[in-house]
Amino acid sequence: MNSSLHSYMPDRADRYFSADPAQRAVARSLFDTVANLPLICPHGHVDPQLFADASHHFGSPAELFLIPDHYVFRMLYSQGIPLEDQGVQPNDWAAGSRVESDHRKIWQTFAENYHLFQGTPTGLWLRDEFHDLFGITEKPTPENAQSLYDRIAERLAAPDFTPRKLYERFQVEALTTTDAATDSLEHHRTIRDSGWSGRIYPTFRPDKVVNDIDQPAWRAQIERLRAVSGIDIGDYASYIHALEARRVFFKEMGATATDHAAETPHTEILSDSEADAIFQRGLSGSASAADARRFTAHMLVEMARMSGEDGLVMQLHPGSIRNHNPSVFRRFGADKGADIPHALDYTRNLKPLLDRFGAHPSLRLILFTLDESTSARELAPLAGHYPILRIGPPWWFYDSINGMRNFFAQVMETAGIYNTIGFNDDTRAFASIPTRHELWRRISCDWLAGLLVQGIIDDEEAFSMAHALAYGLAKKAYRL
């Protein structure tokens, strides 16, 4: 590092805080009060199987950090590095495709391209994970790649580096997974029956049996729903009955929330006869794309009805065009870094649902967005009026320093912090969870510090708001 620049670097303890000395000092004081609060992790994608076996250990450094993480491999892919070279297996792998299986080579490729993550959220998460979990302060380089691999591998094999031990070390109070409506939840049952005190709960996600009714895969999912529910699904009414039965099962297993992904937040109310007609076309393989759009929109309203009745918090994550790269999708399948955001309209699209349930006393609907332009224009005014609505934190591409700062600037004046839900980490990468929460806590404390030094809030308000944003809001919103 150029010594002339070194004096501008803040202490690690002050990272991500304002360069203004007064604001930084206040941010540090606020952060000190929330830094060690337990972690509420009410929405994510960690595999519950990690916790079912008390002796489970993570695999190699490449398996922990690289191969399953689309944030990592999409960046390298964007620079022309094939997914196969990163250990990502294509669907036709058994037919003779070349896939790198040497995890040291995969790690070496990553280290040679580590500079690609400079200034990105992934770069910050990786840096903090290396430091906090493995005591590594140097950056991966082509020269030190293998020595870093050895240090991480040695730590991964240690007796105290199991998911359960890390759960306790991270001070996780509750962690929820995201599970298909047809999932047996066998791993959750194993965790519960083991007597371990960790709180790992499922989240009901019915997308595979609700969306894409025009696709052959939907019919296969209905067969699975029929099998796990024990209900003979031959019409729309029996289909609804099966979904309601599965929600009861999820609640018995500890679920407090549902999760719904849709290309848009479009909602529509169909009559039972209209819904059944579309359902029958889906079963016969003759449903159209327009049928699929209307059916998904109707089922979002139906899921809101069910949540109002059974108390499961409803989450809506719209705005991604899935599998945008058809060649990657054909070769590797879904969730390979090619889901791309698009523009949304919440105000008009949600109106049918809000007309029916906007003031429902038992319904809570948490809205997320990948279209930042809607935050100030639509989401904040909507949540600032309708009692059922809360706004989720910056998500996916905006789970970042700038995404969070934009969120505080665009949402809070209109909605107030108490119409938001604090933070959820929304990740498959279990080891990154504390890093993600710490980033949120630092950015929220820095934002509050700015309000305090400007005289917008006072000391008492700043400290109570910091606690709410770090812990209280998420716990209350998800009924944990």
Q: Percent of the chain scored above 70 by pLDDT?
A: 97
**Which backbone phi and psi does 321 adopt, to 5 degrees?**
-85, 105
pLDDT in tens, 87-99: 999 986 555 568 9
Residue 32 tokens, joined: 């000190």
Report the alpha-carbon distance of residue 399 to residue 376 in Å, rounded.
17
Q: How confident is the model at residue 1 (pLDDT cuts 50, 70, 90)?
A: very low
Q: What is the Cα gyration radius of the chain?
A: 23
Count of C-beta atoms within a 10 Å radius of residue 230 = 8
Count of C-beta atoms within a 10 Å radius of residue 71 = 21
Amino acid at residue number 477: A
Q: Is the pLDDT reported for residue 112 higher than 50?
A: yes
Q: Is the pLDDT reported for residue 286 higher than 70?
A: yes
Give the residue from 211, 470, 436, 185 showing the smallest Cα distance to 316: 211
Report the alpha-carbon distance of residue 279 to residue 287 in Å, rounded.
8
132 neighbors 35 (Cβ within 8 angstroms): no
Report the alpha-carbon distance of residue 87 to residue 109 in Å, rounded.
11
Count of C-beta atoms within a 10 Å radius of residue 326 = 9
Q: Is the pLDDT reported for residue 2 higher than 90?
A: no
Report the alpha-carbon distance of residue 176 to residue 310 in Å, rounded.
18
Report the alpha-carbon distance of residue 448 to residue 88 in Å, rounded.
42
Count of C-beta atoms within a 10 Å radius of residue 98 = 10
pLDDT in tens, 293-317: 999 999 999 999 999 999 999 999 9
The phi-psi region of residue 422 (left if phi > 0; otherwise alpha if psi is between -120 and 50; otherwise beta) is left
pLDDT in tens, 314-331: 999 999 999 999 999 999
One-character DSSP codes across 90-115: PTTGGGT------HHHHHHHHHHTGG
Over residues 266-292, mean pLDDT: 98
More confident residue, 99 or 6: 99
Which CA distances in Å does 284 have to 21, 215, 216, 277?
Answer: 67, 11, 10, 11
| pLDDT at residue 7, rounded to an integer | 55
Report the alpha-carbon distance of residue 424 to residue 361 in Å, rounded.
24
- Bridge-based pairing of strands 340-341 and 320-321 is antiparallel
pLDDT in tens, 359-403: 999 999 999 999 999 999 999 999 999 999 999 999 999 999 999
Count of C-beta atoms within a 10 Å radius of residue 305 = 16
pLDDT in tens, 190-249: 999 999 999 999 999 999 999 999 999 999 999 999 999 999 999 999 999 999 999 999
Residues sharing a CB contact under 8 Å with residue 81, sequence separation 6 or more, in sequence order:
109, 113
Burial of 340 (0-12, 13-18, 19+ CB in 10 A): middle
More confident residue, 33 or 8: 33
214 neighbors 276 (Cβ within 8 angstroms): no
| pLDDT at residue 95, rounded to an integer | 53
What angle (nearest 5°) sits at the alpha carbon of residue 474, between those of residues 363 and 68? 105
- Domains of the chain, each with CATH number or no CATH: 59-161 (1.10.2020.10), 163-477 (3.20.20.140)
pLDDT in tens, 444-464: 999 999 999 999 999 999 999
Mean pLDDT of the chain: 95
Q: How confident is the model at residue 472 (pLDDT cuts 50, 70, 90)?
A: very high
380 neighbors 357 (Cβ within 8 angstroms): no
Give the residue from 445, 451, 450, 440 showing the smallest Cα distance to 474: 440
Report the alpha-carbon distance of residue 364 to residue 254 in Å, rounded.
18
Residues sharing a CB contact under 8 Å with residue 257, sequence separation 6 or more, in sequence order:
42, 43, 176, 203, 204, 312, 313, 314, 315, 478, 479
